[in-house]
Amino acid sequence: MYIHLTSLQRTQLVLAAKQDLESLDKTISDIRRDNPKAFQTRQSLAERVFYIKPAQAIPCSSWHAEPQAAEETAPM
């Protein structure tokens, strides 16, 4: 699943983040109302696949490498 925000929505989020939390919360609420597919659901969270295993109990279906192994094989 790929989450899409329009260019306008991205700009709105950036501007709201520069103001205060109230503005940001309202902007997120507006975008959620107008573009609900731009947000993860419980189901989509559980379907995510990570390259490196999440450090916490984050909903996902799988991962490809343990954190230690990923650090050893990461390009410099």
Q: What is the pLDDT of residue 22?
A: 96
Provide the H-helix boundaries in the chain: 7-19, 21-34, 42-47, 67-73
Per-residue pLDDT, 74 = 59
Q: Is 76 exposed, middle or buried (0-12, 13-18, 19+ CB in 10 A)?
A: exposed
Task: State the pLDDT at residue 29.
Answer: 96
d(CA 75, CA 18): 35
Element (H, E) at 57: none
pTM: 0.59
3-state helix/strand/coil string of 22-33: HHHHHHHHHHHH
Instruction: Kindly list the domain boundaries of the chain, sorted by start residue.
Output: 7-38, 42-73
Kindly give the parts of the chain with pLDDT less than 70: 1-3, 69-76
Give the model confidence (pLDDT) of 39-56 as tens digits: 888 787 778 787 777 777
